[in-house]
């Protein structure tokens, strides 16, 4: 995948150069403009460059020297600290609006409903490095056989991701402030997204049991959104009512390699929130292959044996019976796992989400850097699915291979100059 394909796609679909040109300059008479610094960090994030030290080398003598120029590590930190996080957030919203206009968010799998998952992840955990916006907690460590208590610093951010599409699309992220709860941070992020994108941009919000509480569901209802949240022991009264109402025989459903027992309660009174909610409970048994080791004297061999794994899930929802069937509610609730298994896992293992290239004394720089990394992941994923997988039939590359090809294509004359 060469430079013309990727850049031409971004320019044609998103008018990328014009969007980047709108970023405000926070420095006086800089040698390298804010847009050039952003471009260097953006393409570095696309190419999986983890540290500013490596990015400086790539700009001075590596694959980005023809495109960017010799920008130093200090310039990256100084420029990011003065780059507006609101402007980068607005850039991500502009990308999301264009994706919706192009029909990327439409899907028949959820009957046209745009479903977004909300969840949090922890980054930059350290007992040494910190900044003024770090969260703090006390942990115990064993060093040389001695147990000691230490203060651990960390950051936690919340993301809202569209999970009803064939591939997940991150709409936005927000860092938790010191002392701020995850639910409060998530609600602020959802409100900001709705204010910028509109009430019809997301139809259903899904999340784990942490978000099933009266303040959040009332606020989500006020925003005009429906919701599907997992029910667990943090709502003991609701769990007791669910167990009482689903003690009878289920509506059995069977599929290839699995068996699902489903209970549906159209209206269950939730005393804590003083309202009625729909409840869907499933007991799913799936056929799996488990590896077993057999020993015969000194030798051993491995063999696979079939086993049945059982999981129980309970979902509460505000969706009306005419809008969504019980099977659809269960499907929406299960889609919440995509934000962990696909988005957070990929961002952590391949996109250096937890790599603190800048942190101590640079709180805003860390925030802006993380937003740029997430934006680069989203755009690369869109290009990968809309232009690579949709056009190729054989020898399909991986997302990691595509990232390396994109960065290599930014230096078309590198071999000639070396």
- For the chain, give the percent of residues with pLDDT over 70: 95
Residue listed under structure tokens 């919706």:
100
pLDDT at 418: 38
- Alpha-carbon distance 360 to 248, whole Å? 57
The residue with greater pLDDT, 391 or 274, is 274
Q: Binning pLDDT at 50, 70 and 90, where does residue 8 land?
A: confident
Which positions ≥6 away from 239 have C-beta within 8 Å? Answer: 231, 232, 233, 314
pLDDT higher than 80, residue 253 = no
Closest CA to 377 of 345, 412, 336: 345
pLDDT, tens digit (0-9, with 9 covering 90-100), for 42-82: 999 998 888 999 999 999 988 888 888 899 999 999 999 99
Residue by residue, DSSP assigns 22-70 as: TSPP-SSS-SS-HHHHHHHHHHHHHTT---HHHHHHHHHTSTTTTTT--
Q: Binning pLDDT at 50, 70 and 90, where does residue 255 land?
A: low
Q: Binning pLDDT at 50, 70 and 90, where does residue 256 land?
A: low
Mean pLDDT of the region 330-345: 94
Mean pLDDT of the region 123-142: 88
Of the ranges 129-133, 201-205, 272-276, which one carries the lowest mean pLDDT score? 129-133
Structure tokens belonging to residue 306:
């079939």
pLDDT higher than 60, residue 214 = yes
Q: Binning pLDDT at 50, 70 and 90, where does residue 360 land?
A: confident
Count CA atoms within 13 Å of residue 83 on its CB side.
Answer: 34
- Alpha-carbon distance 55 to 43, whole Å? 10
pLDDT at 236: 92
Cβ atoms of 138 and 179 closer than 8 Å: no
Q: Binning pLDDT at 50, 70 and 90, where does residue 2 land?
A: very low
Q: Where are the alpha helices (DSSP H) in 307-385?
A: 326-335, 338, 345-349, 363-383
pLDDT at 163: 96
Mean pLDDT of the region 372-380: 95
Whole-number average pLDDT of the chain: 89
pLDDT higher than 70, residue 257 = no
pLDDT at 254: 67
Element of type H or E holding 136: strand 135-143
Pairing of the two strands 204-207 and 115-126: parallel
Quote the pTM value: 0.90
Mean pLDDT of the region 395-414: 72
pLDDT at 304: 82
- The backbone region for 167, taken as left when phi is positive above 0, alpha when psi lies in -120 to 50, beta otherwise, is beta
């Amino acid at each position: 995948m060469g430079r013309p394909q990727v850049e031409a796609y971004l320019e044609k679909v998103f008018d990328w150069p014009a969007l980047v040109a709108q970023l405000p300059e926070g420095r006086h008479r800089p040698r390298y403009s804010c847009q050039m610094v952003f471009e260097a960090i953006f393409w570095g994030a696309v190419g999986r460059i983890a540290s500013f030290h490596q990015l400086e080398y790539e700009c001075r003598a590596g694959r980005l020297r023809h495109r960017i120029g010799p920008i130093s590590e200090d310039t990256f930190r100084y420029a990011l600290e003065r780059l507006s996080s609101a402007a980068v957030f607005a850039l991500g919203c502009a990308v999301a609006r264009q994706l919706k206009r192009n029909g990327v968010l439409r899907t028949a799998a959820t009957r046209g409903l745009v479903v977004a998952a909300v969840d949090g992840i922890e980054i930059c955990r350290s007992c040494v490095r910190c900044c003024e916006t770090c969260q703090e907690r006390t942990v115990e460590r064993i060093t040389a056989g001695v147990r000691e208590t230490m203060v651990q610093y960390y950051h936690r951010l919340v993301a809202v991701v569209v999970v009803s599409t064939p591939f997940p699309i991150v709409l936005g992220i927000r860092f938790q402030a010191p002392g701020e709860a995850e639910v409060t941070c998530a609600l602020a992020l959802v409100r900001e997204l709705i204010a910028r994108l509109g009430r019809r941009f997301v139809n259903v919000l899904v999340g784990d049991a942490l978000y099933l509480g009266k303040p959040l569901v009332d606020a989500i209802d006020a925003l005009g959104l429906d919701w599907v949240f997992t029910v667990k022991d943090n709502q003991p009264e609701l769990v007791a009512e669910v167990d009482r109402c689903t003690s009878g025989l289920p509506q059995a459903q069977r599929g290839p390699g699995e068996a699902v027992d489903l209970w549906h309660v159209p209206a269950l009174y939730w005393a804590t929130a003083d309202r009625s909610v729909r409840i869907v409970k499933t007991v799913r048994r799936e056929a799996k292959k488990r590896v077993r080791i057999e020993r015969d004297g000194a030798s051993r061999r491995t063999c696979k044996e079939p086993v049945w794994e059982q999981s129980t899930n309970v979902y509460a929802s505000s969706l009306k019976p005419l809008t969504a069937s019980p099977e659809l509610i269960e499907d929406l609730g299960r889609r919440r796992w995509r934000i962990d298994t696909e988005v957070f896992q990929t961002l952590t293992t391949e996109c250096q989400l937890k790599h603190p290239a800048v942190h101590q004394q640079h709180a805003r720089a860390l925030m802006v850097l993380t937003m740029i990394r997430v934006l680069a992941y989203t755009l690369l994923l869109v290009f990968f699915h809309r232009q690579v997988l949709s056009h190729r039939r054989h020898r399909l590359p991986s997302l990691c291979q595509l990232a390396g090809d994109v960065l290599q294509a930014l230096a078309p004359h590198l071999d000639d100059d070396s």
